[in-house]
Amino acid sequence: MRSRKSIYIAIGVLALMVLLFLLINISPSTDEVETTEQEVITEDSAPEVEENPLVSGKFTINQLKDSVSLIENQEKRANFAHHLSAYYANAGRLDSAAYFEGIAADGFPNEENYLKAGEEYFNAFSLATDADKAEEYRLKSEDYLIKAIALAPDRPEAKTLLAVLKLASDQGVAGSMLLHEVLLTNPDYAEALYNLGVYAMQSRDFSQAATNFERILDSDTTQVRANFYLAICYQELGRTEESISLFNRVKELDSSPEVQANVDAYLDDIK
């Protein structure tokens, strides 16, 4: 005979499935679902349930994982994993969001799911403060992005993210080559141009960097990042008036205090 505790867990899992599929927002409980900022979810790390989750409204990590495994249809299971990923992403738990996107991609493999898993692990990598965790997320992101590229070699998103991962490691040349490959089929793809520009700036090739940012602005003059970095390039190249003009444009485009203070600091240096 099943224990009362296991019955409660089963009821709670089913209730959670219904709630999420109806898109009802469930607030995370720090008592029931608590991991460190960059800790990947595992069954061993989940706490035990001591109360009826349907009554308390609290759900553990194990229940979330169990709720996914209960769904036999692969596509529906992937969709549910997407819901859980979005839930954790909204709570700022990027490692957990990546974990569930990985479940979706592994259980229902296609181009979009591989790309989404790669993106979420990329996000977790970008904000990881622990070097070992960062490397773990980077490798997982690369794995999913490579699988996405294999299914859709002409789409620029996965190749660009993979290139950025390589630029962030010791494979800068390979990353640069990937970005140029993207531009062969998508010559105006802003993310590829932007990252090539930043890479050129890191090499202090401000002339080449400026060319890439100018190409972005040829298509969209409102790109804040491109305006900002082009202004820096012009400053380094001695094109002072053009630099000042672009910095002032950035201030018009983005009124956030951080951007305003950053631009003012550059303008003070020029003056």
Structure confidence at residue 271 (pLDDT): 74
pLDDT score recorded for residue 16: 46
CA angle at 161 for the pair 251 and 112, rounded to the nearest 5°? 115
Least confident of 63-77, 187-201, 238-252: 63-77
Each residue's pLDDT tens digit, 25-55: 333 333 344 433 434 433 343 333 333 333 3
Q: How far apart are CA 232 and CA 200, in angstroms?
A: 12
pLDDT in tens, 217-259: 999 999 999 999 999 999 999 999 999 999 999 999 999 999 9
Query: Is the pLDDT assigned to residue 151 strictly greater than 60?
Result: yes
User: 0.85 cut: is pTM over it?
Assistant: no
Give the pLDDT confidence of 86-139 residue by residue, as tens digits: 888 888 889 989 999 999 999 999 999 999 999 999 999 999 999 999 999 999
Rounded Cα distance between 157 and 143, Å, is 15
In three state form, how does the secondary structure of 7-40 look?
HHHHHHHHHHHHHHHCCCCCCCCCCCCCCCCCCC
pLDDT at 80: 84
Q: Tell me what pLDDT residue 66 has.
A: 66
